[in-house]
């Protein structure tokens, strides 16, 4: 440990890196009744802590090594650190990146002067290829985590946060990919403040350090999920394993949904968007705090990076409320007769409906896919399920069903044989509690609803697509009726998207 303390104290990181702030999470602290802070490594010049270790390693190269150039394998954040450091020092940098790397990271490496080579579908394949190129061309390998100088560079974060928060600290939560960040922070924190717990956090789908510690040595896990691509490492390093095994107090794993919820927490408190790996530590902190396992004192999470593809935010938003147990997804069976929807919504009272999907099917029972906003988590969900079942409705809880969350919620619909007189309308109404019920009550029982799709997207206005069976003889009366509801609407019966994928097969 003393060797690492010396390395950390003499690290050369501030030529390119900066000391990042330790900021309170005021909203989350109030909700969890704890003092919660985040170390904002997402504010580094490359939006990630990786610049620290990369520069510390490269700055120590001999003149002969600098002339040979450097190479690394990385999913993106280490790559940007290597590219920036090498460019500042006038050194050639070749970066091998998995083909699955988000475009934002690839483009950033090229902009920083790195020569990008795309190879393999994960870090391990990219690393093997980088080693081959290093052997062939004589490049100096800059390992993303399993190198003493890299580990020491990351450890400078520990010095900063101890200086920034001299008061009692219960635990520091650190994301783990290959283990360099956790090893570096634990080395300095356990030397200076052994009373502070240092807890590693891994995704359930990429828990390579947890597997290594359980096995007693680094092991290659069978599969690695790519949602948190910044920590998608199949096997941790030998040196990082040794340090994490000896210095970490615990390792916990979290789900992708919990990571999404942590991304939302950071946005709510700081209006900052982090990458999945960047919010990993906060997700672990939240799990500990909510379960009562967190120690007394301040709880600190490392926000390790913000290099996220914009289009990935669609998935994050969709899953965040599930991750914080703020939404229940249910399949509910109701009688297939007019008025059933209103009766169902009335049962839910003032609870906000986040999603409501239905397509007519022949038979006495209708099945709807419904999302319900929760304020008290799983306990409230169970109350809702019990309420619906007591009123004779069949309920299946789909909140943790991956197929439902990823696919089925978007697929409720399709063609129906023998469906007559269907007209389709798109409505818009003010998004407030009770608005959906008011809309349904405005459609009286004279016309049968054959299709219904509603999803709350957090906007000021709710949008509903409704199919209604309207015989030709009652069409004029129906139009007068929906005019009286007072919500803007558009006739979509001839919309090609409806005609191609939803229109019922005429008898």
Where in the sequence numbering do the catalytic residues fall? 50, 304
Separation CA 266–CA 362 (nearest Å)? 47
Interacting residues of 156 by C-beta distance below 8 A, sequence separation 6+: 8, 11, 13, 17, 52, 184
Give the residue from 350, 396, 405, 357 showing the smallest Cα distance to 373. 350
Distance CA 352, CA 329 (A): 13
For residue 330, give the nearest of 360, 364, 366, 367 by alpha carbon: 367
**Cα separation, 404 vs 273, whole angstroms:** 26
Element (H, E) at 159: helix 148-164
CA 415 to CA 220: how far, in whole Å? 47
**Residue 416 vs residues 95, 143, 454, 503: alpha-carbon distances, Å:** 53, 58, 20, 8
- C-alpha angle 384-385-387 in degrees, rounded to nearest 5: 65
- How many residues can be counted in the chain? 507
**Tokens at residue 350, please?**
């003032």
* Tally of CA atoms within 13 A in the half-sphere of 108 that contains its CB: 24
Q: How far apart are CA 288 and CA 33, in angstroms?
A: 13
């Amino acid at each position: 440990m003393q060797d690492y303390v010396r390395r950390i104290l003499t690290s050369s990181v501030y030529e390119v890196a900066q000391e990042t702030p330790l900021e309170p999470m005021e909203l989350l602290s109030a909700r969890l009744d704890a003092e919660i802070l985040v170390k904002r490594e997402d504010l580094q010049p490359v939006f990630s802590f990786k610049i620290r270790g990369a520069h510390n390693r490269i700055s120590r190269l001999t003149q002969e090594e600098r002339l040979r150039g450097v190479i690394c394998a990385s999913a993106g954040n280490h790559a940007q650190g290597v590219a920036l450091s090498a460019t500042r020092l006038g050194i050639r940098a070749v970066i091998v990146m998995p083909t699955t790397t988000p475009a934002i990271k690839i483009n950033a490496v090229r902009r920083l002067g790195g020569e990008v080579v795309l190879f393999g579908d994960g870090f391990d394949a990219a690393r093997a290829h980088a080693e081959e190129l290093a052997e062939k061309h004589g490049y100096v390998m800059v390992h993303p985590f399993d190198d003493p100088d890299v580990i020491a560079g990351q450890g400078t974060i520990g010095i900063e946060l101890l200086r920034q928060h001299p008061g009692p600290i219960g635990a520091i939560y650190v994301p783990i990919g290959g283990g360099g960040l956790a090893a570096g922070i634990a080395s300095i924190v356990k030397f200076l403040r052994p009373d502070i717990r240092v807890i590693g956090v891994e995704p359930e789908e990429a828990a390579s350090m947890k597997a290594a510690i359980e096995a007693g040595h680094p092991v290659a896990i069978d599969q690695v999920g790519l949602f948190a691509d910044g920590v998608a490492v199949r096997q941790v390093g030998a040196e990082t394993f040794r340090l994490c095994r000896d210095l970490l107090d615990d390792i916990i794993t979290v789900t992708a949904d919990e990571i999404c919820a942590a991304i939302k927490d950071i946005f709510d408190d700081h209006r900052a968007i982090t990458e999945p790996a960047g919010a990993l530590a906060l997700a672990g902190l939240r799990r500990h705090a909510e379960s009562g396992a967190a120690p007394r004192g301040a709880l600190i999470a490392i926000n390790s990076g913000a290099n996220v593809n914009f289009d990935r935010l669609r998935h994050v938003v969709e899953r965040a409320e599930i991750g914080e147990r703020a939404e229940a997804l249910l399949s509910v069976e109701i009688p297939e007769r007019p008025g059933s929807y209103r009766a169902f919504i009335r049962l839910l009272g003032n609870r906000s409906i986040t999603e409501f999907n239905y397509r007519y099917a022949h038979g006495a029972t209708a099945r709807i896919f419904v999302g319900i906003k929760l304020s008290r988590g799983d306990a409230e969900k169970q109350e809702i399920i019990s309420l619906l079942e007591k009123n004779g409705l069949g309920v299946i809880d789909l909140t943790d069903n991956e197929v439902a969350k990823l696919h089925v919620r978007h697929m409720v619909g399709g063609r129906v044989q023998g469906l007559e007189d269907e007209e389709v309308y798109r409505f818009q109404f003010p998004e407030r509690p009770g608005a959906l019920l008011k809309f349904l009550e405005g459609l009286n029982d004279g016309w049968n609803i054959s299709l219904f799709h509603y999803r709350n997207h957090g906007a000021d206005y709710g949008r509903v697509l409704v199919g209604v069976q309207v015989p030709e003889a009652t069409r004029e009366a129906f139009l007068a009726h929906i005019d009286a509801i007072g919500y803007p609407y558009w006739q979509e019966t001839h919309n090609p998207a409806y005609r191609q994928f939803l229109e019922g097969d005429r008898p």
